[in-house]
Structure formats: C-alpha cells, structure tokens
Structure 1
Amino acid sequence: MLTEFLIVCPLVFLAGFVDAIGGGGGLISLPAYLMAGIPAHFAVGTNKLSSAMGTTIATLEFARSGYIRVKLAFLSVIAAIIGSSFGANLALHISEYYFKIILLVVLPLTALYLLLNRHALNTKLADSAKLSVSQFVATLIISVSLGAWDGFYGPGTGTFLILTLVGIAHLPINLAAGNTKVINLTTNVTALAVFLMNDKVMIILGLTAGIFSIVGNFLGASYYKKFGSAIARPIIIIVLVIFFAKTLWEFMG
C-alpha cells in the first residue's frame, strides 16, 4: 500500500541520519514499520533489510575516516554473527502479542535513560591509542551480547553499543563509533538472512526504504564528523514518545 511507503520511508531516512550520528536509529525505523500496520515479525525482518543497506554506507564512511581497527573489527564480526543468529532464531518463536509487550517495556526505559543521561550520546572524539587485551575481551563480550539483542529485536543496539564500548570496554569514542557500525552491519545482515529464509521480509518496501536509509546514513555520517552527536538524542526521544503512545493505545484497545 502507498500509505506504508509514505509512513516508512521518511522515518527510515531520519533513522539512518540518527543512527550514523549516535546509534539508536532502530528506535525510529522499527516503530515506523509498525505504525504503518505491518505485523511485528515482518516489521523486524524488513527493518533489517533497509537498515543493512544504510549501515553499509555509514560503515564505509567511518572506515574512510580511520575510525575502524581491522583486527578488532574482525573479531567483533565473528562474535556478532554468533549472537545475532541466535537472537534472530529466538525472535521467530515469539508471538506478536509478546513482541508488543517487549515494545511497551523497552522503549520507555530507553527514552528514560536518554532523558536522565544528557551526555549519553554526546561524547567528544578522542585520540586512539594501542588497545589492551582487556579492551579486546570486553568488546567481544559486548559484541556477542548486543549481537543477540539486535538479532532478536534491534532498536537501541547502536546506542547501547556506543555506550558500552566507551563505558565498559573503554574504547575512544571514534573507535567505539566505528566498531559500532561494523557490529551493527554484521548483526543486520545475519538476522536478515534468518528472516529471509523464513519469508518474513517485504522485499519491495525494504529495498525502497533502504534507499532512504542510505541517504540518511550518508548525511548523518558527514554531520557526525563535523558536529558530533548531540542532535541524535532529542530526535530519538520525540519519535519514541509518539510511537509508545500509539502502541499503548492499540494494546489497550
């Protein structure tokens, strides 16, 4: 339906822009599919397609900027594939009803976190130094854990990756942002493969929205290199509030 494209495509563009800046684009793109009336499993699967297309562009832009360490990225990819394939297969066994329950719990908690932590997505770039073994180990654990979350559900993964890679793995923000794109791309592609094999992807809508995601990610990556990530937080919160109100209304109705 035309309405689906009119709702999904502009919001996916916005999601790509936000995701390239500070992560969390899935908190906009997945609600967009659901607001268009698409069933939860198809929404998650189709979102993986458009997100993977956009994240590819952002990853290339971050690599060009020198924000990706090859060895760290390679190990993160392996860990993320393991986590994401497990999460995606688990998601296929969760009913539509429980997916909505998850939405009603996770989305407001994420919005509350962003409201209470004003600098969560606004860390400045830092010079990269030689990484320690503990940083590698922490990054791999984070990659598996959030890879599973991204395969299972998705929204918030980019934000949580940046926060944990900086706060727990103690990576400089530039390397954390670059590695986040690598992990996000890996988990999106892995989960997409699982959803495709189970016929849970709306190909035409996903490809069309993917073009909007590519443009949004390209512009977002360019914006990030110039101005940082401060703008991402208020955009995410606004969309979350709108979507949460809609989901709660439908759930109670």
Structure 2
Amino acid sequence: MVTEFLIVCPLVFLAGFVDAIGGGGGLISLPAYLMAGIPAHFAVGTNKLSSAMGTTVATLEFARSGYIRLKLAFFSVLAAIVGSSFGANMALHISEYYFRLILLIVLPLTALYLLLNKHALNSKLADSAKLTVSQFVATLFISVSLGAWDGFYGPGTGTFLILTLVGIAHLPINLAAGNTKVINLTTNVTALAVFLLNDKVLILLGLTAGIFSIVGNFLGASYYKKFGSAIARPIIIVVLLIFFAKTIWQFVS
C-alpha cells in the first residue's frame, strides 16, 4: 500500500509538470500506476482521477491567459463527452489480460510517435484569429475522435489534440492549446465517471496523487512561460525506459 504511493505520487507530479508544458503527461502517469502493480482497469480509472485534478489547474491557467473561446469550448465539450463515454465503456468490456496487453503495445507506439514528431511537445503560442465554420466542424470531429481515444486509453491525447487542432482544424496554436485543455479535462471527467460507476477507481490513491498532479501542473505552467518545452522529452524518455525495464524483468523472472 505505502509502496504504491511512493511510486505513483512522484511520477504523477512529473506527469503533471510535463503535461502543463507540452502534453504527454499520461505517458508518465499511467506507467506509474502499472509499475506500482495496480491492475490495468484500476490503473486507467485512478489515473483519470489524478489527471482530472491536475488538468483543472492547467485549464484555469489557460483560461486566465485568454486562450479559450467559450463558444468553441462549449461545443467541443459536448462532442468530447460523447467520445469519451464511448471509449471508457469500450475499455471496461475488455478483459484485464488483454487490456494490459493492449496498453503494453499501444503505449510504446504512442510514445515513439510523439517523441519522433518534431512538432510534438514543442509548441509556441501565436496570435488568435477569427474562426471559420470549417474550423468549428473539424474541431468537433477531433473532439469526438480523440475523446474516444482518451476515454479508452489516455496517454498522448493532449499532444495529439494540439497537433490535429493545428494541422487539421487549422486553429491558431494559442486556441489549440487552450481548447486542448478544455477537451482533455472533459474527457478525463467523463471517463472518470464511467470508471467510478463501475468501481474501478482507487479513491485514496487517486486523490493523493491528484494533489501531486496539481502541484506539478502549476509548476509546469510557470516553467513553460519562462523556458519553453524542451525538458518534456527527456523526462518522458527516462520514465518510459524504467517502465519497460520493469515490464521485461517481470516477463523474465
């Protein structure tokens, strides 16, 4: 019990720090729960709790900075709720063995894409612009699609959102970053509700880790304003290497 807290809480703090800087925090926080020996469904569900707490802080910071437009955010939230609830319910219908196997396959592939993509985890803010109908429609499609991904899995969603909102919806990066936080918060809360209803959340661990996530997100947002996002990549790489080393050891031993 104590070991779970000692493993999870520091890594969730790092995850919050990284996520506030450039997304990708789930690539640290979910492996943290799995490394602590938490069953896969509980790991995902509890991760939603701590992530939601930290993402709330980051979202408020982006709103305070003027990077969120209410009309776009409102419809994005509705679309994200639909996608996330579908994804979370899909995750619950997969057995523990196969769900963990899926995570062990998808996690490195997601990490590899994000770490090799020169634009991922490395965005800078730009001036806002007037939005078109096509930008709204593309944003809603992205919100549903990645909402389902986040409800089912999670890690990488924030960065995928920024990449697609800029690359497909053609949003200015400041609005893409702000809307990403709104969508991410929505999908976390929606998926969390599904996992809570199915009793797949370790409340005490999630709340405790959530406090560390809040502190990490707050410090990460402050760090980003001063120094940018270069530090995010090496932190993610180190944690993933530890996670895979432990996983390989479990298979060998």
TM-score range, shorter chain: over 0.9
Displacement, 1:242?
A: 2.1
Partners of 1:9 and 1:208 within 8 A in 2: yes
TM-score by length of 1: 0.96
SS at match of 2:41: helix
SS at match of 2:129: coil
Displacement, 1:251?
A: 4.3
Partners of 2:22 and 2:123 within 8 A in 1: no
What residue number does 2:216 align with?
216
Partners of 2:114 and 2:120 within 8 A in 1: yes
Per-residue CA deviations over 1:213-245 (Å, capped at 9, x if unaligned) read 000111111222233222212212222222123
Q: Distance in 2 between matches of 1:37 and 1:74?
A: 38
What residue number does 2:49 align with?
49
Trace 1:37-76 onto structure 2 (pairs within 5 A). Answer: 37-76=37-76
Q: Distance in 1 between matches of 2:60 and 2:115?
A: 31
Partners of 1:52 and 1:185 within 8 A in 2: yes
Change (3 A) 1:251 1:92: farther
Matched residue pairs, number?
253
Per-residue CA deviations over 1:46-97 (Å, capped at 9, x if unaligned) read 1111111111011000100011111111010000000000011111111121
Partners of 1:104 and 1:248 within 8 A in 2: no
Cα-Cα RMSD: 1.3
Identity percentage over the alignment?
A: 91
Change (3 A) 1:99 1:247: farther
Partners of 2:114 and 2:156 within 8 A in 1: no
Q: Distance in 1 between matches of 2:220 and 2:136?
A: 27
SS at match of 1:94: coil
4+ residue segments displaced more than 3 Å: none
TM-score by length of 2: 0.96
Partners of 1:88 and 1:191 within 8 A in 2: yes
Q: Distance in 1 between matches of 2:252 and 2:169?
A: 41
Partners of 1:62 and 1:221 within 8 A in 2: no
SS at match of 1:30: helix
Q: List gaps (5 residues or longer) in structure 1.
A: none
Displacement, 1:104?
A: 2.4
Displacement, 1:252?
A: 5.6
